[in-house]
Amino acid sequence: MYHRPPPFSAMEDRTSLQRGDVVLFRFPLNDKSAEPGAPKRRPCLILNTLSNGDDRFIEIAYGTSADTRANRGYEVIVKHPTSREEAGLSKPTRFVGARRIMVHVNHSGFDGQADGPEIIGKLDAPLLERLNAVRARIQAEADIVAHHREEQRAEQVRWEHEARSFR
């Protein structure tokens, strides 16, 4: 019996996903007053790529054209026309690192023509530097929280030990 293999596709190579790529994703809405139905497809910035065995995941940041004061310090702003063109964006966009999620590369939020993330562009070199600064800040704050939790655990163990010693 003749077996015809599926056609080759560039999107099948998931290793091409990199930090700084811009993809389209139906980012979840938190606003209860928003219209019912699926969230709209919007540009999202890949902050990180991770794997667990054969499973591939990406951490993406929400993209918006709204210029608000919310979440300042965790954002990558793409304004310059050449930067927007390289990122595949039609208007100035803020990628908000405070609004990020981790998703599987086959998540249903990637519902374009391709199977998986549709890469529409990538950040240029100066914006990649800004992305790295945002990621460093996020990681530093996570490290501070982890250190605080560890100190609390150690203090709890000391209290339990002291409580046993006084019996």
**49-54 mean pLDDT:** 86
Q: What is the pTM of this model?
A: 0.75
- Distance between CA atoms of 91 and 109, rounded to whole angstroms? 22
- Distance between CA atoms of 161 and 66, rounded to whole angstroms? 54
**145-154 mean pLDDT:** 93
CATH fold of the domain at 17-165: SH3 type barrels. (2.30.30)
Nearest to 110 by CA among 34, 16, 13, 11: 11
- Distance between CA atoms of 110 and 113, rounded to whole angstroms? 9
The domains of the chain are located at 17-165
**86-105 mean pLDDT:** 91
Find the DSSP H helices in 23-124. 81-87
> What per-residue confidence (pLDDT) applies to 46?
95
Q: Tell me, what DSSP letter sits at residue 90?
A: S
Residue 29 has pLDDT above 70, yes or no: no
> What per-residue confidence (pLDDT) applies to 6?
38
- If one compares 111 and 152, the residue with the highest pLDDT of the two is 152
Within 13 Å, how many C-alpha atoms sit on residue 165's CB side?
A: 6
Per residue in 98-124, pLDDT (tens digit) is 888 998 888 888 876 556 688 899 999
Lowest mean pLDDT among 32-41, 62-71, 147-156: 32-41
Nearest to 18 by CA among 122, 131, 132, 125: 122
